[in-house]
Amino acid sequence: MTPPYHPPVKRSLAIHGHKTSISLEPVFWDMLKDAAVREGVAMAQLVARIDGERIKADPAPGLAGAIRVWLVAQSTGK
């Protein structure tokens, strides 16, 4: 596992047929991968679901921030 205090790593994913780049710290990439495995979906599918939830917020947060918040909420059961 990468040390927790590592700069963000940028990765590209296709969401709803459009490529997007997301920068997350490695610990969040690991958490996202684990969540996708638990839910039995591809990481891009999980990100697309989080994206759909975040755009309903007013104001809508950035995608990377929404992913981080979603992951923390999942890990704390909130």
The total of structural domains in the chain comes to: 1
In a domain, 3, yes or no: no
Domain assignment of residue 25, yes or no = yes
Q: Is residue 66 part of a domain?
A: yes
**CB of 61 closer than 8 Å to CB of 69:** yes
- Specify if 56 maps to a domain: yes
Q: Which residues pair with 9 in a beta bridge?
A: 24
Does 19 map to a domain? yes
Contacts of 44 (CB under 8 A, 6+ apart): 13, 14, 15
Residue 72 structural domain: 9-76
pLDDT tens digits, one per residue of 7-41: 999 999 999 899 999 999 999 999 999 999 999 99
Domain at 54, CATH number: 1.10.3990.20
In a domain, 4, yes or no: no
pLDDT in tens, 44-70: 999 999 999 999 999 999 999 999 999
Residue 63: inside a domain:
yes
Give the type of residue at 47.
V
The answer to whether the predicted template modeling score (pTM) of the entire model surpasses 0.95 is: no
